[in-house]
Structure 1
Amino acid sequence: MSASKQPLGRPRPALGLSGGALGERDFRRFFCAYSLSLVGSAMVPVALSFALFAHGGGATEVSAVLAAEMLPMVVLLLLGGVIADRLPKRRVMVGADLLRCASQALLAMLLLTGHFALVPIMLLAALLGVGNAFYVPGRNGLMPQIVSAGHLQSANALCAIAQSAGTLVGPMLAGLLVAGAGAGWAIAIDAASYAIGAGLMLSMHLHAPCAPPRPATRMVDELAAGWVEFTRHLWVWLIVGQFSLFFLLVYGPMQVLGALGFSHVAGGALAWGGLLSMLGAGAVLGGVLGLRVQPRRPIRASLLMFPLYALVPGSLAAHLPWGVQAGCFLLGGLSLSMFNVLWETALQREIAPDMLSRVAAYDVFGSLCLLPLGYVVAGPIAALLGVDGALWLGAGYVVVSTALVLLPAGVRAAAAVPARA
């Protein structure tokens, strides 16, 4: 084990505040900040969509605003990883939160005062995307500095639970606020969540030693060094490549074609929304499972669970009864959430601290870069194979790609935790 990594322990995981990651003061503060921002972020798409519709906009305007947020995040994500490794990670994340707070506060002001215009809204959405690009890699790199090594998996599991719960609570809360007070107030709450998050992070004490100062180097050289570290680990780049095609062939088309399948059914919107809620509920259960289960070979264990996600597109393609589909979505959400918990923990334990944010940036960028294209190709694939054929293609990809990734022994044994004496 590299001397730059923290010692690895395997304490018995705990769910209560007296043990596990929640027993550590700094992680509790981060967890509160992270949970608030997730709920706020999940409110924004609903609030903005209804605000745009109320002012005569349509799907094109909604897509333009969402794209304006996504584009700078994708473009700047790798730069965010370099900055987070070069500067103190907490400073980068606080700056990102303050930028996101300012963009959402200005957007809320526009909506509350009735000064509604598409271009300013897109510009503010772009600022939000810039903040996200610097926050995400910083968060992955900061985690080992706010929680002890033995509680990393517990911390990641709790973050996964918070993320899943945010996607369930945020849209519902946004709907209530839009109906009762207006979309501007939902955006204002999102802005406040970032301000609170920045304050909580400033109050934390980083107990893990930071990497020693490095000689000044060019940004492009640091980006290249991160790429070398990313490609040095077979299991890292191979699984990121698998998920890049997963978002292209499975997740993106499933989101489009799944909704299409319910669009001409009575109560179809409610039925499709219910399935997505089951996906989120499964993700919450996956996070809870991540609190209790600590396999000695986490990468192998996560890959063995991942084929359960094939039940999601498979149940739609087979036209199973809704109740059975709901169960399949529950298992799919559980498998993907558990995978993420074990994956992030393995990265935080195996990647050197001064490289972690850059590797995390390559991970997120590589995994998500084809997702927009996945939405686009859903129609052509369905035209070629039929809607059911496209969904079966996604289900088959999950199973076959996982089997292929598991073939190298180096992947199956990656990030293995030493047995206790």
Structure 2
Amino acid sequence: MSSTTAPNTEPTARRGGLLRDPDFLRLWSATTASGLATWALPFILGLAVLDGTLTAIDLGLVLALRTAGFLVAVPAGGLLADRHSRRAVVLWSGLAAALATPLLVVGLGGSTALMAVAATVVGAGQGACRPAFQALTAEVVAEPDRQRANAALTFSTRVSTLLAPGLTALLALVTGTWVLILGTAALWLIAALAPAPGSAAVAPRSRAPFHTEFLDGLAEARRHPWFLAGLGALTVVIATGYSATGVLLPLASRDHYGTEAVLAGALTAYTAGALLGAVIVSRWRPRAQGWAALAGLGLYALAPLSLIAPVGPIVVLVAYALVGVGIELFNVPWFTSVQREVAPDKLARVSSLDFLLSYGLAPVGLALIAPAAAAWGTGPVLVGCALACVIAPALAALAPGGRTFTGARATVG
């Protein structure tokens, strides 16, 4: 199969930097709003469980269906964003989430079925916009500025997750849960309406059936061995290290230290470390950027290692802060390299593959780690998770192009 590459339609770097670029600021506002809406909904629905308007079983069902909608929509969103305007995909996916969110309020405490349908649509809107945002960033921001742009985007997301729990809890004291849910609908409207059209257009091409275009995206991903290897490493780390945090950190906080404060402190330290990592990587560009990014990803091994024995709360907090730094040392160069190396007319499809595997398999790890700990013991499972977090990035570093996250295999027509 031959490979077609879009002509060079790169946006031009603007004087004055990103903060004076109105197109980037509009994109930043949209991605920040979508990230905050995505994070806030489970927390708000958790408050509804506490006040008795929603049961824990219904909460689990609603969140599971939101995740299912996300997973179904991610590949479809990537296909549509490469076939049509990326701006249009962001618009319609954001509007779908915004219009479905009020139905959660209507169903709250009354119709679980209505809430389930609404949550599925919200998840689909969330999933469809993710690859479109990735491709739109490459259209709006010139290549020399993209690393700083991606760092700024992830920085805003981390600030939201750091500050939003307290702010949401305070708002819940003076207003109802339904008002907070409608607030997420307003955030989705911002995400839908804020971005400007991309300054670079995808090259016109004949349309093929959806399954053919999906296979074209897979073929483009296979052209970049470093991408497949890095995605495999990221998927393993999320399925093991992230699962250890989600399932075993609360148990370690209770069993080793007798308090939930270590749990809250570790998660706060992780976010603070991620903020620091975003600041560092916005300026730092090592020659072996791929190896540096994969080393940062490997720092996730510190999370399960810190939970094996009662080593002291400070050690756990420091470990999670370093994990936060490391994950952004990986994330920002990873997104930037994908935006630079992948053919522009296939970027959304390749990005959708990234989100589908890395995030899509995370629930599998979450579901399996507790039974594994029950069968073999918490200590051995944590050691296994730590080893996986080290070995997977190390193997990815050996792939062609892994040193710099550059290079592609030639294709023959």
Q: Same fold (TM over 0.5)?
A: yes
Task: Tell whether 2:393 aligns with 1:402.
Answer: yes
Task: Tell whether 2:69 aligns with 1:78.
Answer: no
Match of 2:199 in 1: 207
Structure 1 distance, partners of 2:263, 2:100, is 32
Match of 2:133 in 1: 139
1:264 Cα deviation after fit: 4.8
Structure 1 gap segments, 5+ residues each: 12-16, 417-421
Structure 2 distance, partners of 1:414, 1:379, is 35
Show CA shifts across 1:90-142 (max 9, x none): 0010111111111123324555xxx6322211111101011012100101111
Show CA shifts across 1:255-279 (max 9, x none): 1011122235776223201111111
The 10-residue stretch of structure 1 (79-88 or 255-264) with the greater mean CA deviation from structure 2: 255-264
Structure 2 distance, partners of 1:6, 1:278, is 41
Structure 2 distance, partners of 1:293, 1:388, is 36
Structure 2 distance, partners of 1:108, 1:284, is 33
How do 1:364-403 and structure 2 match up within 5 A?
Answer: 364-403=355-394
Task: Please tell me the residue identity of whatever aligns with 1:325.
Answer: V
Match of 1:31 in 2: 28
**CA 35–302 in structure 1, closer or farther in 2 if over 3 Å, else same:** same
**CA 361–409 in structure 1, closer or farther in 2 if over 3 Å, else same:** closer
Match of 2:51 in 1: 54
**CA 207–89 in structure 1, closer or farther in 2 if over 3 Å, else same:** same
How do 1:228-267 and structure 2 match up within 5 A?
Answer: 228-264=219-255
Q: Is the Cα–Cα contact under 8 Å of residues 235 and 358 in structure 2 kept in the other structure?
A: yes
Structure 1 distance, partners of 2:305, 2:26, is 40
Match of 1:306 in 2: 297
Structure 2 distance, partners of 1:240, 1:291, is 22
The 10-residue stretch of structure 1 (326-335 or 262-271) with the greater mean CA deviation from structure 2: 262-271
Q: Is the Cα–Cα contact under 8 Å of residues 41 and 170 in structure 1 kept in the other structure?
A: no
Question: Percent same amino acid among aligned pairs?
Answer: 30
Structure 2 distance, partners of 1:3, 1:213, is 9
Q: Is the Cα–Cα contact under 8 Å of residues 283 and 337 in structure 1 kept in the other structure?
A: yes
1:7 Cα deviation after fit: 6.5
Structure 1 distance, partners of 2:257, 2:370, is 23
Q: Under a length normalisation based on structure 2, what TM-score does the superposition of the two structures give? A: 0.91
Structure 2 gap segments, 5+ residues each: 408-413
How do 1:155-234 and structure 2 match up within 5 A?
Answer: 155-201=149-195, 204-208=196-200, 210-234=201-225
How do 1:265-304 and structure 2 match up within 5 A?
Answer: 268-304=259-295
1:351 Cα deviation after fit: 0.5
Show CA shifts across 1:268-321 (max 9, x none): 223201111111111111111121112333222201222222111111113221
1:68 Cα deviation after fit: 0.8
Task: Please tell me the residue identity of whatever aligns with 1:83.
Answer: L
For the residue of structure 1 that corresponds to 2:344, the secondary structure is: coil
Q: Under a length normalisation based on structure 1, what TM-score does the superposition of the two structures give? A: 0.90
1:211 Cα deviation after fit: 1.9
Of 328, 333, 338, 1:342 maps to: 333
For the residue of structure 1 that corresponds to 2:203, the secondary structure is: coil
Structure 2 distance, partners of 1:383, 1:40, is 35
Q: Is the Cα–Cα contact under 8 Å of residues 42 and 167 in structure 1 kept in the other structure?
A: yes
Q: Is the Cα–Cα contact under 8 Å of residues 6 and 203 in structure 2 kept in the other structure?
A: no
Match of 2:110 in 1: 116
Of 290, 301, 309, 1:318 maps to: 309
Structure 2 distance, partners of 1:75, 1:411, is 30
Q: Is the Cα–Cα contact under 8 Å of residues 63 and 119 in structure 2 kept in the other structure?
A: yes
Task: Please tell me the residue identity of whatever aligns with 1:414.
Answer: F
Task: Please tell me the residue identity of whatever aligns with 2:51.
Answer: A
Match of 2:148 in 1: 154
For the residue of structure 2 that corresponds to 1:415, the secondary structure is: coil
**CA 125–7 in structure 1, closer or farther in 2 if over 3 Å, else same:** closer
**CA 39–132 in structure 1, closer or farther in 2 if over 3 Å, else same:** closer
Q: Is the Cα–Cα contact under 8 Å of residues 297 and 326 in structure 2 kept in the other structure?
A: yes
Show CA shifts across 1:22-67 (max 9, x none): 2321001111222233233322111111213433644332221110
